[in-house]
Amino acid sequence: NKMNKNKINKNKMNKNKIDVKIETKKGSMDEWPEPIVRVQSLAESNLSSLPDRYIKPASLRPTTTEDAPTATNIPIIDLEGLFSEEGLSDDVIMARISEACRGWGFFQVVNHGVKPELMDAARENWREFFHMPVNAKETYSNSPRTYEGYGSRLGVEKGASLDWSDYYFLHLLPHHLKDFNKWPSFPPTIREVIDEYGEELVKLSGRIMRVLSTNLGLKEDKFQEAFGGENIGACLRVNYYPKCPRPELALGLSPHSDPGGMTILLPDDQVFGLQVRKDDTWITVKPHPHAFIVNIGDQIQILSNSTYKSVEHRVIVNSDKERVSLAFFYNPKSDIPIQPLQELVSTHNPPLYPPMTFDQYRLFIRTQGPQGKSHVESHISPR
Ligand code: OGA
Ligand code: NI
């Protein structure tokens, strides 16, 4: 039909435009398009107004910055007893996860097996890191080529609208990308804590991958295999959202879906901020104590041929409270083609997405910055 055709043509055009941009930007990927300003520095300079670059157009501004959460919350799922010797035997828990992956793309897990002390230590070590003077952190300053290190923007478009956050990005897997020298060395315990935290989250991710796979009627290690088996990727993005002088005009992180496989977020234990899109409203997530927030990324939406949804989310900020969150990304091996699983497609249910490696796929967010769900929506097979 005509409308669909128009949409697909438009998507194709967008896609070409994006390819061209990536090409022209290739030469400059070692540098940011303009000098980097640390949001922490702005926050500490007692500004009376918000610099223009951080002011969102009216349609994108948060509807409320009240941290009182909406009555609705994403599902909270207790994993106690799910991962037993006998395999994944609890049908009620399995069904709740299935529903959450299809309807919300987001859920919280409790009794997930990661020690609360380790979760707190990880977040508080990072908080201490971000509390160091900006100067001390500049040695870890990142570039758009790998994004590893201390950063303050996503995307390389000169003059682009900016988000009210600084971050730190590092690799945990594969082993050849894990480099302690690219991790912070202060506070003194941080490397050890990140290392242990990373190992625990890789284990938890492996278990959740088995659930997601089984829930689609596949053998339990199907997803893991499709991700490249042992050679998957795992990285950590720690977000620091300083106090913001005009939180009603800004966003801590603009709407996006996560480009990778699956994300496990450790939110701040004191401050709300994450909002998830449900139909046309933004739901403020109310974190359960010591829960993790799990969400489906674009690569799992693609593998599942859109049965599981990679859902748009964003972060709002506060004038009197800073916020720290740890986003752990579990990704496919970066150089293998990812496409809908053969078991899930048929002539009646054709594959919605062409094959693409994650290396290629993630160039979009790395050059364009957060753009809602436009990437996965334009990454559609021609009809
Ligand atoms: C992310 C993200 C949410 C948060 O880093 O991709 O969505 O609450 N973070 O910081
Ligand atoms: Ni995200």
What's the pLDDT score for residue 28? Answer: 62
Diameter over CA atoms, the chain:
61
Q: What is the mean pLDDT of residues 308-332?
A: 97
**Bigger pLDDT: 382 vs 172:** 172
Q: What is the mean pLDDT of residues 89-109?
A: 95
What's the pLDDT score for residue 267? Answer: 98
Query: Quick check: 20 pLDDT over 60?
Result: no
User: Measured between alpha carbons, how far is 381 from 383 in angstroms, rounded to an integer?
Assistant: 6
Query: Quick check: 136 pLDDT over 70?
Result: yes
What's the pLDDT score for residue 311? Answer: 97
CA of 73 to the centre of ligand 1 (A): 17
User: Phi and psi of 110, rounded to 5°?
Assistant: -120, 165
**Bigger pLDDT: 8 vs 128:** 128
Q: Any idea what the Cα angle at residue 104 is, between residues 378 and 68, rounded to 5°?
A: 115
The answer to whether 251 and 316 have CB atoms below 8 angstroms apart is yes
For residue range 260-285, what is the model confidence (pLDDT) as tens digits?
A: 999 999 999 999 999 999 988 999 99
What's the pLDDT score for residue 230? Answer: 82
- Of 338, 149, 134, 142, nearest to 236 (Cα)? 149
Ligand 1 atom, smallest distance to 314 CA: 7
Tell me which residues have their CB closer than 6 angstroms to ligand 1: 237, 239, 253, 258, 265, 267, 273-274, 313, 315, 325, 327
- Of 236, 235, 203, 205, nearest to 223 (Cα)? 205
Least confident of 147-156, 253-262, 323-332, 374-383: 374-383
CA of 253 to the centre of ligand 1 (A): 7
Q: What is the mean pLDDT of residues 187-195?
A: 98
What's the pLDDT score for residue 320? Answer: 95
What's the pLDDT score for residue 14? Answer: 44
**Bigger pLDDT: 55 vs 8:** 55
What's the pLDDT score for residue 84? Answer: 84
User: By alpha-carbon position, which residue is closest to atom 10 of ligand 1?
Assistant: 325
What's the pLDDT score for residue 85? Answer: 79
Least confident of 127-141, 264-278, 303-317, 369-383: 369-383
Ligand 1 atom, smallest distance to 258 CA: 6
Q: Mutate which of 313, 322, 324 to test ligand 1's pocket (most atoms within 8 Å of Cβ)? A: 313
CA of 240 to the centre of ligand 1 (A): 10
CA of 248 to the centre of ligand 1 (A): 19
Beta-sheet strand order (sheet of 313-315)? 253-256, 313-315, 274-278, 281-284
CA of 84 to the centre of ligand 2 (A): 30
- pLDDT band of residue 18 (cuts 50, 70, 90) is very low
For residue range 24-67, what is the model confidence (pLDDT) as tens digits?
A: 444 468 899 999 999 999 999 988 899 999 999 999 999 865 55
User: Measured between alpha carbons, how far is 296 from 310 in angstroms, rounded to an integer?
Assistant: 5
User: By alpha-carbon position, which residue is closest to atom 6 of ligand 1?
Assistant: 258
Enter the pTM of the model. Answer: 0.92
What's the pLDDT score for residue 27? Answer: 47
User: By alpha-carbon position, which residue is closest to atom 5 of ligand 1?
Assistant: 327
For residue range 322-352, what is the model confidence (pLDDT) as tens digits?
A: 999 999 999 999 999 999 999 999 999 999 9
Q: Mutate which of 296, 318, 325 to test ligand 1's pocket (most atoms within 8 Å of Cβ)? A: 325
What's the pLDDT score for residue 383? Answer: 65
Query: Quick check: 16 pLDDT over 70?
Result: no
For residue range 60-98, what is the model confidence (pLDDT) as tens digits?
A: 999 865 555 557 899 999 999 899 878 887 899 999 999
The answer to whether 126 and 266 have CB atoms below 8 angstroms apart is no
For residue range 150-189, what is the model confidence (pLDDT) as tens digits?
A: 999 999 999 999 999 999 999 999 999 999 999 999 999 9
